[in-house]
Amino acid sequence: MRLNINVKELAAAVNGKILQGPSDIVIQQVQYDSRNIHNGAHSAFFALQGTYRKGNDFIHDAYYKGVRCFLAQAFPNVHGLEEATLILVEDSLDALQALAASHRERFSYPIIAITGSSGKTTVKEWLYHLLSGQVRVIRSPKSYNSQIGVALSLLELNEDCDVALIEAGISQPGEMERLEKMIRPTYGICTSFGRAHEENFKSREEQLNEKLKLFKGVQKTYYPSSIQLNPEIQESINAFPLSEKEFKTELSHLPYDDAGSRQNAVTVIGTIRKLFPDLLITPESIVSLPRLALRLETFEGINGCIIINDTYNLDLDALTQSLEYQLRVAEGRKRVVLLGLDKESETIRKKADAIVQQYAPDHYIVLKDGHEAPTNFKDAVILLKGSRQADMQRYVRTFRLKNHKTFVEIDLSHLKHNLDVYRSLLPASTKILAMVKAQSYGSGIEKVSAFLERNGIDYLGVAYADEGVELRKQGIQCPIVVMNTEEEGFEDCIHYQLEPAIYSFRQLDAFIHELILNQKTAFPIHLKIDTGMRRLGFEMQDIPRICEMIQAQPEVWVKGVYSHLADSDNRRDKRFTDHQISHFAHAASYLEERLQHKLVKHLSNSEGIINYPSAAFDMVRLGIGMYGITSHPQLYKRLKPVLSWYSSISQIKTIRKGESLGYSRTFIADKETRIATIPVGYADGFRRSLSNGKGVVIINGKKCPTVGRVCMDMIMVNITGVDCREGDRVEIIGKIQTIDQLAKAMDTIPYEVMTSISKRVHRVYLEE
């Protein structure tokens, strides 16, 4: 950003009141997340009041990082901010958007606003790809299309460009009017109209009308003719339909043949033809349209390093976003930036250097002309950034911890979406405890827990104390409940501030004894009551004795009380669960009355949240539901799958009629058969019970059944009639074969599938 305004001008733009500090400080950029700040000089920090995080809590952190100008709705604690300029505003988000709208007024070049249910980012990036080099273009970073993202995108506008591409997305009624007031677009593009977020609108008509409010003042709106708009709406937004038949020649060069890509290409090419008729769109430029990888890929690397793979391109705006992401992920660890240059990108070397130096990484190395990357870094966060022509994927392979062709993808953006869906089902006051036991259901406890904490989770739940210890060592600070506390873990609970679940008198007595030895008092515990699971927990008749024991022992303080629902997925007969809810409410009420303080009451699990809303109490325990897995049909449609599992073809062979294959010769070909060998087996979690056709994988959209026995490290599948070659991707869990389908074939449940995927299977984390 290059805002170049002083504090007085800033306060006027946002209708704020300067409470203290100088008004002549020059502001060049805004910040709202203290984790992204490296050097806060000439920055203004907006203390945004989110649903789960309060910006005021991070003002002092931003001040420590050099910020000296703050905008907030209140300043409850100004101690230590003596050198800061404080601006009081009515609403922090409104103020940020007002600044963005004011900044937008400084520029007269056309702004193209892009919205739609899907394809927004692809259309924006493809427009940029075809326009850049012929006109100066600025665009929204990555998928910045929210109320905050659009404001930040507009604040990037500067005088060194000819056109701006601004992406806008909504999920609730009323949001688009706010975005339109900021953007005031010259032209509009509607990419598609689907079912995303439809549950938040009264009807699909209302949803469409809300989206189209973005274009109420534009000169022209371009949209694919597949979207049906009535004449009145077309007239109100000056709509111009784009048909695929108009661009058959251009589409013949498109490297993708799926319907979505063709529609996006028509929208992009048609818009350019209409708005920039003199610009060239060559066959070469269409062939090179990228398959976007806008989500950062993060994985474990060699020597304890974390690798951020952002080798999509060397765009300078994207470089800034990648460096900010690295700063957030690092959390104090050393940062290494490896930048790959080819001959063409060498021209932006100085600008890239200047951007990287602003973030002051511990090591910055430019790789070019096939130079090898140093691999002696330890416990660092390494950002790999560069153009495809620089062959950056070669360096990605160098830094991978395990060169196993079989890997699991964890989509953290989908995890956040699912978390927000469950939050929408709960009362605003109800907390969420995210269960991350068993390596967070096989997805990686440290990475997932850190992501959940960043996204405002209230509690984490683990099975054993050693899991909680690892989280504390990784810097996790939120409360952690240990659900199955063993006596061997008591000392760790005390030392690392883990809250143990106590379910028996023997266990309670032993923990109190450990607290006495450590001279601890009022240590938080959670009491488990058995309301019908008949597994662990105090009986209902034990509760008076529990109260007497705790009131006599100052070493413990009951922070929470909980129980387990045994039949929460049963929507047909609710009597047993209603009985459990009633018993739990009675027990909790008795405990609160006798102990004379409010307890955190938690009973409901993932299925209980949707099926038994009365069981929400003060907190719920969310587990498998975070990963998009539920038996509730309506909720299933709203959730997104988090985990995918892939491999690739190692070798292809043709088996002649009468030949056998694999151990014990359980498969004998009755005709000539093409066989693909895939490097995944029962040691990876692909069960031996999936042998001989019981299991399938997906190759290039086709179901390929197993043949012969599943081996420890590989399987063989029938690919007769499937167009594929060695090295092609194999889907084990993904868009076609869901985890529920694989679990059914394995005669088990998704829980077991997830937790059975071996640690040797590489985990890759995706985040927008």
Q: Which residues are catalytic?
A: 437, 663
Strand duo 459-462 + 431-435: pairing: parallel
Burial 594-608 (b: 16+ CB within 10 A, else e): ebeeebbbbbbbbbb
**Phi, psi torsion values for 410, nearest 5 degrees:** -110, 110
How far is residue 294 CA from its own chain's centroid? 12
Alpha-carbon gap, residue 357 to 323, rounded angstroms = 10
With residue 180 as reference, give the H or E element that holds it.
helix 175-183
Query: Rounded to an integer, what distance in angstroms lies between the CA atom of residue 74 and that of residue 86?
Result: 10
- What are the angstrom distances between the C-alpha of 85 and each of 68, 395, 754? 6, 45, 51
Closest CA to 28 of 57, 4, 59, 63: 4
DSSP 3-state assignment of 176? helix
Q: What would the DSSP string read from start to end of 316-352?
A: HHHHHHHHHHHHHHHTTSEEEEEEEE-TTGGGGHHHH
Q: Strand order of the sheet with strand 643-648?
A: 363-368, 334-341, 380-386, 306-310, 296-300, 762-767, 407-411, 643-648, 729-733, 696-699, 702-705
Cα three-residue angle 683-729-408, rounded to 5 degrees? 45
Contact 662, 709 (CB under 8 A): yes
Q: Taking every pair of C-alpha atoms in the chain, what is the biggest distance, in angstroms?
A: 88
Residue 454: CB partners within 8 Å, gap ≥ 6?
Answer: 35, 328
As given in the structure block, the two tokens for residue 111 are: 């702004």
Interacting residues of 501 by C-beta distance below 8 A, sequence separation 6+: 481, 482, 483, 484, 485, 525, 526, 527, 528, 562
Beta bridge partners of 538: 529
Whole-angstrom distance between the N-terminal and C-terminal Cα of the chain? 21
Contact between 202 and 182 (Cβ < 8 Å): no
CA distance linking residue 425 with residue 486, whole number of Å = 34
Rounded (to 5) percent helix, strand, coil in the chain: 40, 25, 40
* Side chain identity, residue 356: V
Work out the angle between the directed axes of helices 259-275 and 120-131 (0-180°, nearest 10): 50
**Which H/E stretch holds residue 27?**
strand 26-27
What is the sign, positive or negative, of the torsion defined by CA atoms of 578, 584, 590, 595? Answer: negative
**Residue 6 · residue 13 · CB < 8 Å:** no
Q: Cβ-count burial of 427 within 10 angstroms (0-12 exposed, 13-18 middle, 19+ buried)? A: exposed
Tokens of 575: 């009597």
C-alpha 483/C-alpha 465 separation (Å) is 9
Q: For residues 751 and 627, is the Cβ–Cβ distance under 8 A?
A: no
- SS3 label, residue 380: strand
Contact of 501 with 482, CB cutoff 8 Å:
yes
What span, in angstroms and rounded, lies between the C-alpha atoms of 684 and 759? 8
583 with 540: CB under 8 angstroms? yes
Distance (Å, whole) CA 499 – CA 502: 9
Listed residue (547, 530, 550) closest to 539, CA to CA: 530
